[in-house]
């Protein structure tokens, strides 16, 4: 990562901490043909518009002094959002025993996503406890012989491959699944928008 961004993180952390805020991340992007530097902040009680404004006023002189981007840029201060990806150890610790969603790099057992309660995160793996489905769906019955044969062959193929795929249930607790971190693209809080 850019050395100036790392220098900026180091300089902004104590200033934000003194305001009761935490530096989550710093991101650069181009939006509407303008360079942007966005500082993401958080706090235990969440972030308000007033928090963003206070943080902006406090960090603006430091950002100007370090000048992390060679061209003219806009400084933005924002909350990371409800469904922000979990990145740091602290992010994972704050989300233990909470509902999370995991996105796989490539489908596992035919699924690109899985959700459950975060129970453990190590350097090599993430463990979740599956949540029993409360939604009872009546399986759709095949209506033609062709559909029945297709369903039978798909079920047989799934059964053959099932043992070779990840994630695998924990043998001592079948509702827990341990997933190798190398197979995970993204972990974030589970947020259901309705």
**Residue whose structure tokens are 């193929």:** 157
Per-residue confidence (pLDDT) for residue 163, from 0 to 100: 45
* Backbone angle region of 32, left / alpha / beta, with phi > 0 → left and psi within -120 to 50 → alpha: left
User: What is the C-alpha separation between 13 and 21, in angstroms, rounded?
Assistant: 9
* SS3 of residue 72 by DSSP: coil
pTM above 0.75, yes or no: no
User: What is the C-alpha separation between 169 and 129, in angstroms, rounded?
Assistant: 9
Q: 23: closest CA among 58, 68, 50?
A: 58
Strand duo 184-189 + 168-169: pairing:
unpaired
Q: 128: closest CA among 118, 136, 142?
A: 118
Per-residue confidence (pLDDT) for residue 45, from 0 to 100: 87
Complete domains list, the chain, with CATH:
3-78 (3.30.300.70), 82-134+166-194 (2.30.30.180)
The distance in angstroms from the start CA to the end CA of the chain is 37
Per-residue confidence (pLDDT) for residue 21, from 0 to 100: 96
> Largest Cα–Cα distance in the chain?
73
DSSP assignment string, 105-127 = EEEETTEEEEEEEEEEE-SSEEE
pLDDT in tens for each of the 194 residues of the chain? 478 999 999 999 999 999 999 999 999 999 889 999 999 999 988 899 999 999 999 999 999 999 999 899 999 999 988 888 888 888 888 889 999 999 999 988 888 999 999 999 999 999 998 876 554 444 455 556 666 666 565 555 544 444 444 455 544 555 888 999 999 999 998 887 66
CB environment 105-133: b (16+ within 10 A), e (fewer): eeebeeeeebbbbbbebeeebbbbbbeee
Question: Phi and psi dihedrals of 28, rounded to 5?
Answer: -110, 145
Per-residue confidence (pLDDT) for residue 148, from 0 to 100: 61
């Amino acid at each position: 990562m850019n050395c100036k961004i790392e220098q900026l993180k180091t300089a902004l952390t104590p200033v934000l901490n003194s305001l009761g805020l935490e530096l989550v991340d710093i991101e650069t992007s181009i939006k509407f043909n303008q360079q942007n530097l966005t500082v993401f902040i958080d706090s235990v009680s969440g972030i308000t518009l007033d928090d963003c404004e206070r943080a902006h006023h406090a960090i603006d002189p430091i950002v100007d002094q370090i000048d992390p981007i060679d061209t003219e840029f806009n400084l933005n201060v924002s909350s990371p959002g409800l469904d922000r990806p979990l990145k740091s150890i602290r992010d994972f610790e704050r989300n233990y025993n909470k509902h999370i969603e995991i996105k796989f790099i490539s489908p596992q057992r035919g699924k690109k996503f899985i959700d459950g309660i975060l129970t453990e995160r190590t350097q090599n793996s993430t463990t979740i406890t599956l949540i029993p489905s409360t939604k009872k769906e009546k399986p759709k019955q095949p209506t033609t012989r062709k559909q029945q044969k297709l369903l039978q062959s798909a079920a047989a193929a799934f059964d053959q491959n099932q043992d070779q795929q990840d994630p695998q249930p924990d043998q001592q607790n079948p509702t827990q699944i341990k997933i190798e971190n190398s197979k995970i693209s993204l972990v974030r809080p589970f947020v259901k928008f309705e």
